[in-house]
Structure 1
């Protein structure tokens, strides 16, 4: 017969883990008749001892889980540890975890353990749908012993079909919360109708709380590592750009110009480079610049770039950045082609999208920005030097045009500007749109190099260039309008050749009349000399110069008569008055016909071949008539 003392001994052995639960239960049953209250108390004490032992085991497991989570170096490993340990700790068939997607406003399956269904592993749970959606929406734990028939949850076909395919019956879910921040939901599930008790929910909740903290810490560690890596990359980019800046500065200190900077940039990045002036005209280049370059598109894109390189879909893709100094747009830097790959650039074999260049690394972006900065400095210094030289040359040509016979001081100034005052020159008067005059001035200056004088006079661009063919030189500057550039038309009147030492006043008037005559004849965009226009230049010019026109046509004959005392002008006039008949002209002059023939032969040598052609004859007769009227 067992006694209460035997029961107490069993409880002591139970506390030491020596007595099985079944023995304690049997002895308590035997005492139910003699000491029922003692038996019941013994069973309660035994159950409490079992619960304490289980809690100790769970706490030990949580400590071990915390140790595993602390050693996790990334979010993925932390999540895997959480789900795997939850399944083992609760002894369930399946464990899984969903994360909150703030952008879509739902949760998605992130990690599973024990799952066999692909549909279940890719499931998304809208807030409020299913058990998991309700946990996410209410931020409170939920459990069910038979999910399929539980009306507490809003069932959807997508969720229910995934649960059926996985074979899940009982589910317990608890939210992952850190400082009221909802992270996700941790689940434990069975494929049989095994209900989850309060202890199971509490244990899962403890694991979820520990997991949420670890997950947030892992994310922060990842963010910190990312930030550190970004800082290292930024430091490397700054160092790379600093080295490039030193290289550019060395180019400038060695007396280099924009071409040298373009070459240095092209070699650093392994690409072609083109530097455009404010009008889109190439000022420097390096490498094989594509022929189909849309400069206008590049200029527009650079104007909206806020000073940083931006991609433009021209010439197969290029990068463009403005060249700015003191708020003034001095030009545009354009580059493209196989830019040298950096750490952040596409790997070997990577191709850029159609019409877009290879992406620049942060270091390469800074290199381009430094190149634009140094280019702006060089262009600004060059611009100021060029502007000073331009003003000197404009003043020089204005002084030459203002004087009849140049003063010695004027000739000395022209010689100091590089003008060979005793060699042949041509004078051009060009009319273009006011907004294009500066560009025309720069273009004209390039034709004669350091020997050219260019300035603005009475709304036109006046150009003095070395040469003896005014028609050919004028044609180089003349430009018709186009659909792409309707304001780019340039009309040119040309005169010469002449020696600047002899003065340029009459030549300027002649060239200007020719330009005005072209405009009156609706021939804008062309070039012509007074000889090419003939009497049209006299009739259509705004300021007709009859004396100059007569001198231009009859000058050689008049000079011969004055020098030799001959009578060639009167003979030519009589010849035309007699209907081009030497015989009748001889009769009118009271000389022998042979004398008239000899005089006409001399006139032909002075005027050149073709003087009796209809067009030349008309010019000669008009000049003779004006000459006679001028004498009367």
Structure 2
């Protein structure tokens, strides 16, 4: 039937224009270059008109072509490079004559090959359908109804589910004893039966026992965490393991960093532990296996990996996914005040680490804003600082320069670093620092004296001022 061909892999470009889809069985494909040859085509043919032949059927000639196809008992008539809806008369003739009127925009040779493969029911066709069905299962996010609908489209046969088990009806019939498959009239060589059985098996695993590749996913997640936090030289060694596990570490990466900003301590850890698998399932339905979750720095890090530079369009698409993801996560984890930072795209193992730092910087800026999703600013000093600070040497330099202050611990060091940065940003004006940080001028002066004693630094020296200003900014990334 024509409706089954429309759902076959490689035939997504076929569009139904008019006429029934299930009147006649398609038995062969015929490529026609002259519309005058339509009446002589074998019964049950799917007739594909070339571009030149389609142009010759303009206007009333299309009505003539449909009449000739119906007289030949053709199953379908395919117009190539056809624009707009068909005329009302053509629609009526296709319906009355039992001819499926279709349109196709694309490579004509690829269309004919895909049609022949789908009609033959060969092992190659079954393999293509099985691959498409498996990919659709991975994108369906574990939801049985979505899996059944997706597999139905990929296989070209109806698939049903009761919430856990799956079954399929194949009109052409399947061999007896095929689990979950209904027999029908006729017989076939069993290739499609095998494709259906494989797809239903994967679907069952996805809903009852978790994803079949659950263990490798966990391994990739653990390794990704190590890649993000390990020293630079060790990260390059870990990249080899990542490639072996199927993680495209040499590709382009965009990072999402999600934090439950209202939670601390054990409550924060509990939400992050539960949120990771939920996010992974939701993202499988968005973009397939190129989303990789990990836990680092008390946050959920999600890396989107693509082989080619996604560019600005790819970044906008990722931000749209992040907004949909956060909306769904916020519904499930109400009260956690989830917020998300999104990085720019970067290439390779070091680019992966840079993306994670950018997402963290974006999230820091997110606090106090109306939108729960903030995109990293791709221009300005912060971008250079992030790229510089992603190297171990830069981080070590910052740590050494600010070591006496950082040794006080986060609670005491944080206010001092913020005060020093503001003081340097405002050219040493205690009044402007007091206004920005909501402090008394005397408190600012006391902090600056304390910082000067700890660092043993001359804040009037231009080189030391610049080094400390960069260090303060980098330390807060």
Fold in common (TM above 0.5): no
Alignment TM-score, normalising by the size of structure 2: 0.35
Mark the structure with the bigger radius of gyration: 1
Alignment TM-score, normalising by the size of structure 1: 0.28
Q: Which has the higher contact order (CA 8 A, sep 6+)?
A: 2
